[in-house]
Chain A
Amino acid sequence: MRLIKIIGGWLDDRLQVGATLRETAEHPVPRETASWFYVFGSAAFVVFILQIVTGIMLALIYVPSAGEAWNSLQTLNHSVALGWFIRALHGWGSEFMIAIVLIHMVQVILFGAYKYPRELTWMVGVLLLLVTLGMAFTGQVLRFDQDAYWGLGIGASIASRVPVLGPQIVNLMLGGPIIAGATLSRFFALHVFVIPGLLIAFVAVHLLMVIKLGINEWPMPGRVIRKRADKKRWHTVRPVGGLERPFFRRFHFARGRRLRSLLRSFWSVGPSGSHDHSDGPSAGLFLPVAVRCAFALAALDGDSSAAGWPRRWASGSFPSSFYFRRR
């Protein structure tokens, strides 16, 4: 532990990022924003990370060649340990990413979070949606099965209808006269290098603005956002009142005990747990885990005081929920 501290200190003396990271992680946010409604942006980011990891896994086996792509996927499915699972994670992950990005967008619309001063965050978000859809299209091309082939034909037919430049765009898109090896190669390059590069860059800008501008307030009936008035209000409100509860501490320390107890319940039936197979399924262990999961979800949600009792139940300890309510 001390060694880690020494190494960490040595690194941070030179990197000089520790204070910034700590400040970012612990910056105050409005009380109401500790709600599940604000989770979709992070959720989309988590799925994106999953896509990067599983995508790299798939690239270890996949061959981006029109003649071999399908065969290499057969190898992946049947001859590589859990290859089918990693592939399914990537495929379903892509569906989830689009779904979550759309839900995130709906939440931002409903909460008016696109208004001043976050208009640019919204615009970059729209770019992120387009880039995400681009990832989905180029990704399904890589299977190079019938779906991919005729999907490309549809793409080419649509592109060809661009006035004047249509035929040139089709040649550029297909990399030649027909849908063939060159087409797959360029869609591979797009899916693996070009679009992920854009995606990472846009996500960086998007997140930077979220941190710089702060999370949007919970919308209130009658509170209309007017740019001129809010410009002043925004600058005065930001550093002081109405903004409390360190976000990071709330999630990682106030809930630490609750999550620890939850993990402990999991661990007792997990891979290294002492699950006894001799007398059938152990309802005695399963039930407390299920109940704790259900209440933990309720406890993590919102801030209504009526939900105080399940919190205490879920955490199994009074003081942490007391801390919770005191603020």
Chain B
Amino acid sequence: MTLPDVLKRRDFLMKLGLLFNGIVAAILAVPIVRYIMSPVAHARKGQYDSWLSLGKLEQFPAGQTRLAVYRNPVVSPWDGDTADIPCWVRNVDGQKFQVFAINCAHLGCPVRWFPQSSLFMCPCHGGVYYQDGSRASGPPERGLFQYHHRLERGELFIKAGEVPTPGSAANLISITSGLPPCV
């Protein structure tokens, strides 16, 4: 056997070895990737959002906006206080309700309700919203995030479970009243 033939054989075995290593790597990658992507998979299956009660309607007097706190539906025992999520409940006229996420539509900071001026204001970058949640001024490009809600057996239920962010708010109500949408 001549030398080039030997080299060819080595070359072939080298490639075969690489192929086997590649197959093992690909097989191992499947559980690793699925493990890492598990939070995304849960979200895609819609397992995060569920209907939960904010309590009796009497807590929310007509014509007023009050802070409510709910326990997030998906929690782990070591979440501590972070499992409790606040939101703003507006009782428009005793019949109509609006439930706003605490997070500003700009960068998620907690907005605060000021009854004196009937405005929601954000402490971070000066985002301001009217009482119906529509954008008044500041950097947010939209109104407040609004949860779907329903009234049942004298209780207020909302559909919640995921922190609303500008990019992932498709499952929430979008507010179009007020100012025209800014660009």
B-contacting residues of A (Cβ < 8 Å)? 65-68, 144, 149-150, 153-154, 156-162, 166-168, 170-172, 174-183
* Shortest distance from the beta carbon of A200 to any chain B beta carbon, whole Å: 22
6 smallest beta-carbon distances between A and B, as pairs: A67-B80, A160-B167, A166-B167, A153-B108, A167-B168, A160-B165
Are A178 and B85 interface neighbours, CB within 8 A? yes
Q: How far is the CB of A62 from chain B (nearest CB, A)?
A: 14
Identify A154's interface contact among B40, B109, B161, CB under 8 A.
B109
A182 to B106, CA, bound (A): 24
Q: What 9 additional pairs, Cβ within 8 angstroms, besides A68-B78, A160-B168, A175-B39?
A: A67-B81, A144-B82, A157-B165, A157-B166, A159-B165, A166-B167, A167-B170, A172-B40, A177-B74
Given contacts A174-B163, A177-B163, A180-B82, contact A158 B36 (CB under 8 A): no
* Contact status B76-A180, CB under 8 Å: yes
Of the listed residues B36, B37, B161, B165, the one surrounded by the most CB atoms of chain A closer than 10 A to its CB is B165
The answer to whether B97 has its CB under 8 Å from any CB of chain A is no
Selected A-B contacts with CB under 8 Å, 17 pairs: A65-B78, A66-B79, A67-B79, A67-B81, A68-B78, A68-B80, A150-B108, A153-B103, A153-B107, A157-B165, A162-B167, A167-B43, A167-B170, A170-B167, A171-B43, A178-B162, A181-B76
B interface, CB within 8 angstroms of A: 36-37, 39-40, 42-43, 48-49, 72, 74-76, 78-83, 85, 103, 106-110, 124, 161-163, 165-168, 170
Contacts of B40 in A (CB 8 A): 168, 171-172
Assess the B80–A177 pair: CB atoms within 8 A. Answer: no
Q: CB-CB < 8 A to A65: which residues of B?
A: 78, 80
- In the assembly, what is the distance between CA of A153 and CA of B79, in Å? 16
> Which residue of A is nearest B105, CB measured?
A157
Question: Are A161 and B82 in touch, CB under 8 angstroms?
Answer: no
Residue in contact with B165 in the complex, picked from A144, A170, A175, A180, CB distance below 8 Å: A170
Shortest CB-to-CB span from B104 to chain A, Å, is 8
Q: Assuming the A-B contacts A158-B107, A167-B167, are A174 and B78 also in contact, with contact meaning beta carbons closer than 8 angstroms in the complex? A: no
Instruction: Say whether A66 contacts B109, CB under 8 Å.
Output: no
* Contact yes or no, B74 A176, CB < 8 A: yes
Given A178-B85, A180-B75: A66 and B43 interface contact (C-beta under 8 Å)? no
Residues from chain A with a CB closer than 8 A to the CB of B36 are: 172
